[in-house]
Amino acid sequence: MNTEPAKKRPAISREVTCPYCSLLCDDLVVQNSAGTLTVEENGCHLASQGFATATVNSTPRIRGKTVSLDEAIDESARILKRSKLPLITGLGTDVAGVRAALELAEKSGAIVDHMHNHGIVKNSLVLQDLGWIMTTMSEIRNRADLIIFAGTDAGNYPRFYERVIHNDKSLFKTNVRNRDIIYIGDELDPRAGKNKAGKRPTVINCKPENIGEVFSVIHTMIVGDQLDTDVIHGIKLKTLVDLAERMKQASYGVIVWAPGELNIPHAELTIQNFCEVIKYLTRKTRFAGFSLGGNDGGTTAMNVSAWQSGYPLRISYHKGYPEYDPHIYSTNNVLKNRRVDAMLWVSSISTDIRPPRADIPSIILANPQTRIGYRPDVFIPVGTPGVDHKGHMFRTDSVVSLPLKQLRESVLPSVARVLRNTLDNM
Q: Are 37 and 13 in contact (CB under 8 A)?
A: no
* Structure confidence at residue 55 (pLDDT): 77
- Helix/strand/coil for 264: coil
Check whether 92 has a pLDDT greater than 70.
Answer: yes
Bridge partner list, 342: 86
Residue-wise pLDDT for 205-256, tens only, equals: 999 999 999 999 999 999 988 888 899 999 999 999 999 999 999 999 999 9
* Structure confidence at residue 174 (pLDDT): 74
Check whether 126 has a pLDDT greater than 80.
Answer: yes
Provide CB contacts within 8 A for 391, sequence distance 6+.
Answer: 94, 95, 96, 97, 385, 403, 404, 414
* Band of residue 197 on the pLDDT scale cut at 50, 70, 90: confident
Check whether 2 has a pLDDT greater than 60.
Answer: no
Mean pLDDT of 393-402: 96
- Which pTM does this prediction carry? 0.93
Beta pairing class for 61-62 and 378-381: antiparallel
Bridge partner list, 393: 402
Provide CB contacts within 8 A for 302, sequence distance 6+.
Answer: 114, 120, 124, 294, 312, 313, 394, 398
Check whether 362 has a pLDDT greater than 90.
Answer: yes
Check whether 141 has a pLDDT greater than 90.
Answer: yes
Mean pLDDT of 44-70: 92
* Structure confidence at residue 4 (pLDDT): 54
* Structure confidence at residue 176 (pLDDT): 77
Share of the chain above pLDDT 90, in %: 88
Q: Are 32 and 408 in contact (CB under 8 A)?
A: yes
Mean pLDDT of 186-200: 89
Domains and CATH numbers, the chain: 58-116+296-385+413-424 (3.40.50), 121-291 (3.40.228.10)
What mean pLDDT value characterizes the chain? Answer: 94
* Structure confidence at residue 9 (pLDDT): 66
Mean pLDDT of 265-294: 96
* Band of residue 195 on the pLDDT scale cut at 50, 70, 90: confident
Mean pLDDT of 27-36: 94
